[in-house]
């Protein structure tokens, strides 16, 4: 049984909706998920889970005048070391948002969120041009070091085109980043949860 640690939910994203999507993705899989709070991540990493799923932005209080963040440089180094030594890391939606662009964490991801316009219909396609799924969502625009990773998912809306999914080995471990989804409709789309299942398997080295 593979062990997964998940840190989910932030100011803009309800944890229960994300859990529902994740549970659908791992149904009937040989994997067990432990849902933890961000302040317990360093301890959880010491227990060497097979993979970590992060759906949480770095800002704890994004609307306040003085914004606090949770991922310290020390924790970033611990995360990078964990993956280099064979761990799997899935940065899902806000798991790549508001982290310092020059940090070791973003360097490991090979990409990060930059902005999103208002929600609207987005069509996601695989790199071969076939349609993966389409639904109302936040259209994430990202910076991605495409020469250092394998892009597998693209996105298109009236606001333009972007990259929506990429993956690569990192040391002895695996890293995957996916930008969908924000809405309940998107999170529960069976085509999306199928993709999520595949990318969790990638992070687990399966």
C-alpha 79: how far from chain center: 14
Note the pLDDT of residue 80. Answer: 99
Q: How far is CA 90 from CA 8, 157, 177, 206, in A?
A: 12, 24, 6, 14
* Residue 58, token pair as written in the block: 């770095």
Q: From 3.40.250.10, 3.40.50.880, 3.30.360.10, 3.60.60.10, which CATH number describes the 2-114+144-154+163-203 domain?
A: 3.40.50.880
| pLDDT (average), residues 115-140 | 97
Amino acid 152: pLDDT: 99
pLDDT (mean) for 23-29 = 95
Q: How confident is the model at residue 201 (pLDDT cuts 50, 70, 90)?
A: very high
Give per-residue burial for 30-48: e unless 16+ CB within 10 Å, then b.
Answer: ebebeebebeebeebbeee
What's the gap between Cα 203 and its chain centre? Answer: 11
Locate the domains of the chain by residue range.
2-114+144-154+163-203
Judge whether 88 and 203 are in contact, CB under 8 Å.
yes
pLDDT in tens, 72-114: 999 999 999 999 999 999 999 999 999 999 999 999 999 999 9
Tokens 């310092």, located at residue: 100
Tens digits of per-residue pLDDT, 34-64?
Answer: 999 999 999 999 999 999 999 999 999 999 9
Pairing of strands 150-157, 160-170: antiparallel
Question: What's the average model confidence in pLDDT over 123-149?
Answer: 98
């Amino acid at each position: 049984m593979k062990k997964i640690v998940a840190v989910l939910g932030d100011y803009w994203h309800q944890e229960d909706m994300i859990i529902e999507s994740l549970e659908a993705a791992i149904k009937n899989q040989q994997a067990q998920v432990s849902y933890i709070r961000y302040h317990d991540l360093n301890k959880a990493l010491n227990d060497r889970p097979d993979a970590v799923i992060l759906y949480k932005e770095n800002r704890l209080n994004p609307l306040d005048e003085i914004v606090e963040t949770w991922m310290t440089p020390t924790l970033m180094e611990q995360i990078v070391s964990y993956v280099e030594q064979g761990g799997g890391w899935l940065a899902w939606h806000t798991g790549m948002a508001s982290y310092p662009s020059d940090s070791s964490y973003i360097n490991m991801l090979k990409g990060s969120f930059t902005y999103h316009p208002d929600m609207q219909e987005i069509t996601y396609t695989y790199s071969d041009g076939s349609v993966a799924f389409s639904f109302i969502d936040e259209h994430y625009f990202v910076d991605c070091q495409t020469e250092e990773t394998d892009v597998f998912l693209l996105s298109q809306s009236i606001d333009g085109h972007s990259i929506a999914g990429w993956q690569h080995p990192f040391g002895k471990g695996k890293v995957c980043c996916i930008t969908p989804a924000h809405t309940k409709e998107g999170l529960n789309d069976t085509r999306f949860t199928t993709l999520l299942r595949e990318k969790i398997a990638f992070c687990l080295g399966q």
